[in-house]
Structure 1
Amino acid sequence: MKSLLLQFLLLITFSSAFPTDRKMDTEENMRLAQAYLNQFYSLEMEGSHLVQSKNRSLLDGKIREMQAFFGLTVTGQLDSNTLEIMKTPRCGVPDVGQYGYALPGWRRYNLTYRIINYTPDMSRADVDEAIQNGLEVWSRVTPLTFTKTSKGIADIMIAFRTRVHGRCPRYFDGPLGVLGHAFPPGLGLGGDTHFDEDENWTKDGAGFSLFLVAAHEFGHALGLSHSNDQTALMFPNYVSLDPNKYPLSQDDINGIQSIYGSLPKTSAMPKEAMVPHACDPDLTFDAITTFRREVMFFKGRHVWRIYYDITNVEFELISSFWPSLPGDVQAAYESPKDKILVFKDDNFWMIRGYAVLPDYPKPIHTLGFPRHVMKIDAALCDHSDRKTYFFVGIWCWRILLFLPWIKAI
């Protein structure tokens, strides 16, 4: 009896010292996860039964993708940390996917904005100030200027809305949840920025800072996608900051300046956005690869996409397809297994479709390269002889697709 009592006390002590999360994959949590991943990670389920093995596999894959984006431990399981992120108030713009516009930024620097209606949570003067300050966050580091107009169509139309609103393809969900959303530069909804009127908007008190949310949404209206840098203003989740503190991180500054350039040191304003131009006779590319029916040309933080059977050329931010992929890549190629390998310095990423696979980047040495190889200059896959060639300086390595090693030639 004493032995049994001792075992019981030891079990209690062990359980207290190493507590475990209660089971997280309840029906309610699974519905929450499915809705979240559908809205922000392009989850497409077949039917409504999560018990189906195919659907569960899709769900687990999207959970891993979301966990990787937010810097969580990638398990594919609906643990407490993952649920906490899913329940955090955030921006309504997806974390993955492409916008589908011709250019990543506006074609001019002098932009207009109009506030269509005002929230009753704040005075009109405070709303005007929050919106103006949110725009100035970006004009302080670029050549952009913003002029307020009270009538007509402006580049950035600003409104406070609730639930399903007008012809907007995105919707709000009541208090908490989604705080706002914006659309990238372009015609129609391009640049339009909406805030959820069901939230408690504030200047500097309890509630959500209109200035911080507006500055974030204006980043989207100017062409930026979400950042996985948790210190960045373009991080998708709401983070309360001192409104008097400058909110841009270096990641934000690098992103916006890759589209519009930096603030000129003189009064002379450039006529065109500081982005690569296809007709520039001095243009060179960082990397080129095929991808299914198209060819991709990488330059800096941008990519040109040319289809074999379509004359139109699309020009996008790399981050609009793959948010976790860096700019200035150095090599890329498409494998026969419908994957793209992208190289920068001593790391490489593997992409399937429009998703960077979990657990990447990985060191290039895991492919078999010797330790003194610190980067790949170029790569190509010859599908006719099933060999891939890697170029490093004056050297060339060859890998056979059916063998696990590489060979210098």
Structure 2
Amino acid sequence: MEGELAIRAVMIVMVVALCGAVPTTSPSQQELTKAQDYLSQFFSDVGVSPPNSVWRSSLDSFEDTLRKMQEYFGLEVTGQLDSNTMEVMGRPRCGFTDVSSYSHFEGRPKWGKTVITYRITDYTPDLSQSAVDATLAKALKLYSDVVPLDFKQIHSGTADMMITFRTRDHGDFAPFDGQNGVLAHAFSPGEGHGGDTHFDEDENWTLTSTGANLFLVAAHEFGHALGLAHSQVQTALMYPNYQYVNTEGYKLPDDDRQGVQAIYGIRATSGQPTTKPDPQPTPESDPEPTPDRCSRILMFDAVTSIQRNLYFFKNGYFWKRSSSWDGITMKRIQSVWPGISKVDAAYEYKKTDTVIFFEGDHYWGIRGNTVLPGYPKPLSDFGFPLFVTKVDAAVHVSFTSRTLLFVGNRYWSYNERGGRMDVGYPKFTHRNLPGIGFRVDAAFENKGYLYFSYGSRQTEYDYPRRRALRTLLNYRWMDCN
């Protein structure tokens, strides 16, 4: 009983310490927890102890960090969790921490090159692909207009800046939190994930004042990808909280311009275009340089089983993982199947010993190392509507005799026995296959489980139960240390 009274007394002292004189309405436990989470994520390198801790040192840590946050946003510095402070904590914002001694990241990381490549590995269904391409190029041009950098879009392989729209836990130890809250985040320049930019697909992405304006959010995140930290200037693009402004004729604000020019210098006026999107590669194009199977950011174009062996396709090549486990071999696709330069999606139908390769707007029938006569055929012959010009992924589900075919954020179901698409499709992937996200890059079956890859990660899936079991990195299939 005495222990309980002591704890209650400490809690009363805590409320007074947090809020000064006892207020008429104290913060709820939920509000205190949200505040602690916010401060831990954005204003502390080591985390903030919960404000309901009975230890005085923890209370001091929470108060000190809260004061730091209030000072940063120009609020009255009281150490109290008042309504103004909670309102600022509730605003949509960037996912980067606000603790920084400089306007640049510590050590001033920068790109040691003048041409920076970027690749959009997936697109939000909220906007057309062409609109996303144009918007991100426009956001990058804000920087190339003022510093001597050029940005080049590529459509395959690994770029300096890999751009993706994902939800929740997406493999970088910084999960998104659903609509509003954290809108996006990006990594500072460097190897590996350096420069990579991730957008929360749970947001409503727009080009207007409603929802989350993609141009403004992308321009902010690209600032991080170039080496800028957050700014305390409320009119700056790099201010941490999202704020809509008219984007017509938008130029980089002075604070941001001075920050990025301090890293890269000033661009001499040339009148030349500074973003250089590459056209989509054609089937006749040479493959990309030999891919690295042990890269931690390895992404697959397609995966399928062929006569009990697994084949992983990437940039005009494939790796064969033998079922007898005699190592992994790599070859060019054309060296085995002449006339086929790239595989976008593939699946095996074991009952007829046939493999289907999808390449662009057509598909091939394969048996062993032989292309079957009569191929290639247009996707419309498979049962797709004319607007489908590429299949992203395919996997055959043996116990249903159905093949799932993924295009964008939807999928079709093909009846192998009937030779036709099932009625009622396409369906949204994230609704009908919960746990694998909005899009699929590659899919395959192995030992009774389905594997859905997206970017460098994949989900092991129990299809009968519609349940995600675990998340893996793609390169784990490549026998790497």
Question: TM-score, normalising length from structure 1?
Answer: 0.57
**Following TM superposition, by how much is the alpha carbon of 1:102 offset from its aligned partner in structure 2, in angstroms?**
5.6
Counterpart secondary structure, 1:181: strand
Q: How does 1:12-31 map to 2 (within 5 A)?
A: 23-31=25-33
Structure 1 equivalent of residue 133 of structure 2: 128
Determine if contact 2:109/2:189 at 8 Å carries over to the other structure. Answer: yes
Structure 2 equivalent of residue 72 of structure 1: 75
Q: Say if 1:24 and 1:251 are closer, same or farther in 2 by CA, change over 3 A.
A: farther
**Following TM superposition, by how much is the alpha carbon of 1:218 offset from its aligned partner in structure 2, in angstroms?**
0.1
Matched, 1:156 2:161: yes
Structure 1 equivalent of residue 234 of structure 2: 230
Note the alpha carbon deviations across 1:210-247, whole angstroms, 9 max, x for none.
Answer: 01000000000000000000000000000011121425
**Following TM superposition, by how much is the alpha carbon of 1:265 offset from its aligned partner in structure 2, in angstroms?**
4.0
Matched, 1:33 2:35: yes
Note the alpha carbon deviations across 1:46-65, whole angstroms, 9 max, x for none.
Answer: 57843432111101100110
Structure 1 equivalent of residue 309 of structure 2: none
Q: Say if 1:160 and 1:224 are closer, same or farther in 2 by CA, change over 3 A.
A: same
Note the alpha carbon deviations across 1:349-402, whole angstroms, 9 max, x for none.
Answer: xxxxxxxxxxxxxxxxxxxxxxxxxxxxxxxxxxxxxxxxxxxxxxxxxxxxxx
**Following TM superposition, by how much is the alpha carbon of 1:206 offset from its aligned partner in structure 2, in angstroms?**
2.0
For the residues of structure 1 that align with 2:48 and 2:75, how far apart are their CA atoms?
A: 24
For the residues of structure 1 that align with 2:50 and 2:220, how far apart are their CA atoms?
A: 35
Matched, 1:96 2:99: yes
For the residues of structure 1 that align with 2:77 and 2:116, how far apart are their CA atoms?
A: 41
Determine if contact 2:100/2:229 at 8 Å carries over to the other structure. Answer: no
For the residues of structure 2 that align with 1:246 and 1:21, how far apart are their CA atoms?
A: 44
For the residues of structure 1 that align with 2:141 and 2:40, how far apart are their CA atoms?
A: 33
Matched, 1:248 2:252: yes
Counterpart secondary structure, 1:186: coil
Note the alpha carbon deviations across 1:88-107, whole angstroms, 9 max, x for none.
Answer: 00000101158987652111
Counterpart secondary structure, 1:252: helix
Determine if contact 1:183/1:189 at 8 Å carries over to the other structure. Answer: yes
For the residues of structure 2 that align with 1:73 and 1:247, how far apart are their CA atoms?
A: 32
Determine if contact 2:33/2:50 at 8 Å carries over to the other structure. Answer: no
Q: Say if 1:59 and 1:188 are closer, same or farther in 2 by CA, change over 3 A.
A: same
Determine if contact 1:101/1:186 at 8 Å carries over to the other structure. Answer: no
Q: How does 1:370-385 map to 2 (within 5 A)?
A: none
Q: Which amino acid aligns with 2:248?
A: N
Determine if contact 2:138/2:215 at 8 Å carries over to the other structure. Answer: yes
Structure 1 equivalent of residue 376 of structure 2: none
Q: Which amino acid aligns with 1:153?
A: T
Q: Say if 1:118 and 1:64 are closer, same or farther in 2 by CA, change over 3 A.
A: same
Instruction: Provide structure 1 residue ranges, at least 5 long, that are not aligned to the other structure.
Output: 1-19, 269-409
Q: Say if 1:88 and 1:48 are closer, same or farther in 2 by CA, change over 3 A.
A: closer
Q: Say if 1:256 and 1:52 are closer, same or farther in 2 by CA, change over 3 A.
A: same
Matched, 1:110 2:112: no
Q: How does 1:113-192 map to 2 (within 5 A)?
A: 113-166=118-171, 168-192=172-196
Q: Which amino acid aligns with 2:181?
A: G
**Following TM superposition, by how much is the alpha carbon of 1:249 offset from its aligned partner in structure 2, in angstroms?**
1.7
**Following TM superposition, by how much is the alpha carbon of 1:180 offset from its aligned partner in structure 2, in angstroms?**
0.1
Structure 2 equivalent of residue 199 of structure 1: 203
Determine if contact 2:49/2:62 at 8 Å carries over to the other structure. Answer: no
Structure 2 equivalent of residue 329 of structure 1: none
Q: Say if 1:24 and 1:245 are closer, same or farther in 2 by CA, change over 3 A.
A: farther
Matched, 1:216 2:220: yes
For the residues of structure 1 that align with 2:97 and 2:49, how far apart are their CA atoms?
A: 21
For the residues of structure 2 that align with 1:158 and 1:177, how far apart are their CA atoms?
A: 20
For the residues of structure 2 that align with 1:78 and 1:223, how far apart are their CA atoms?
A: 32
Q: Which amino acid aligns with 1:256?
A: V
Q: Say if 1:38 and 1:263 are closer, same or farther in 2 by CA, change over 3 A.
A: same
Higher relative contact order (Cα pairs below 8 Å, separated by 6+ residues): 1
For the residues of structure 2 that align with 1:103 and 1:178, how far apart are their CA atoms?
A: 24
Counterpart secondary structure, 2:86: helix
For the residues of structure 1 that align with 2:255 and 2:24, how far apart are their CA atoms?
A: 37
Structure 1 equivalent of residue 59 of structure 2: 56
Determine if contact 2:39/2:48 at 8 Å carries over to the other structure. Answer: no
Counterpart secondary structure, 1:113: strand
Q: How many residues are treated as equivalent by the alignment?
A: 248
Q: Say if 1:115 and 1:53 are closer, same or farther in 2 by CA, change over 3 A.
A: same
Counterpart secondary structure, 1:194: strand
Instruction: Provide structure 2 residue ranges, at least 5 long, that are not aligned to the other structure.
Output: 1-21, 273-481
Q: Say if 1:21 and 1:85 are closer, same or farther in 2 by CA, change over 3 A.
A: farther
**Following TM superposition, by how much is the alpha carbon of 1:29 offset from its aligned partner in structure 2, in angstroms?**
0.9
Q: Which amino acid aligns with 2:119?
A: R
Larger-Rg structure: 2
Structure 2 equivalent of residue 315 of structure 1: none
Q: How does 1:299-318 map to 2 (within 5 A)?
A: none
The percent identity for this pair of structures is 49
Determine if contact 1:112/1:147 at 8 Å carries over to the other structure. Answer: yes
Counterpart secondary structure, 1:204: coil
For the residues of structure 2 that align with 1:130 and 1:22, how far apart are their CA atoms?
A: 48
Matched, 1:262 2:276: no
For the residues of structure 2 that align with 1:267 and 1:204, how far apart are their CA atoms?
A: 29
Q: Which amino acid aligns with 1:111?
A: I
For the residues of structure 1 that align with 2:51 and 2:241, how far apart are their CA atoms?
A: 28
Counterpart secondary structure, 1:179: strand
Q: Say if 1:229 and 1:48 are closer, same or farther in 2 by CA, change over 3 A.
A: closer
For the residues of structure 1 that align with 2:59 and 2:249, how far apart are their CA atoms?
A: 43
Determine if contact 1:69/1:228 at 8 Å carries over to the other structure. Answer: yes
**Following TM superposition, by how much is the alpha carbon of 1:203 offset from its aligned partner in structure 2, in angstroms?**
1.5
Question: TM-score, normalising length from structure 2?
Answer: 0.49
For the residues of structure 2 that align with 1:205 and 1:80, how far apart are their CA atoms?
A: 26
**Following TM superposition, by how much is the alpha carbon of 1:75 offset from its aligned partner in structure 2, in angstroms?**
0.9
For the residues of structure 2 that align with 1:135 and 1:37, how far apart are their CA atoms?
A: 31
